Amino acid sequence: MRENLRRRIEGEPFPDTQALYPSVPQPLFAICAKAMRHKPDERYQSAGEMAEDLDRWLKGKRINAQNETLVDTVRRLAQKTLRRR
């Protein structure tokens, strides 16, 4: 933990946490990554902005933290449809 914190402070690349935790959905990683970006202007500008993205993800909507590909869109819509059943 301490080593990861040092890397973030010094701007070094962060370990690929998605490889360490493959069960965590990619959009959630994108939200966390945006919140932890090294440059403040690349992070969420408020807690409310981050909360909106989290709420959108929980509702199966497109999040602002990542550029969604066509495959991502189809996957998200399919999962949203399956949840309704």
- Secondary structure in 3-state letters for the chain: CHHHHHHHHHCCCCCCHHHHCCCCCHHHHHHHHHHCCCCHHHCCCCHHHHHHHHHHHHCCCCCCCCCCCHHHHHHHHHHHHHHHC
pLDDT of residue 53: 95
22 vs 28: CA distance, rounded Å: 11
| pTM of this structure | 0.67
pLDDT of residue 70: 77
- Domain positions in the chain are 24-84
pLDDT of residue 76: 77
Per-residue confidence in pLDDT tens, the chain, 85 aa: 677 777 777 776 666 777 888 898 889 989 998 898 878 998 999 999 999 999 999 998 889 888 767 777 788 788 878 777 7
Q: Are 44 and 54 in contact (CB under 8 A)?
A: no
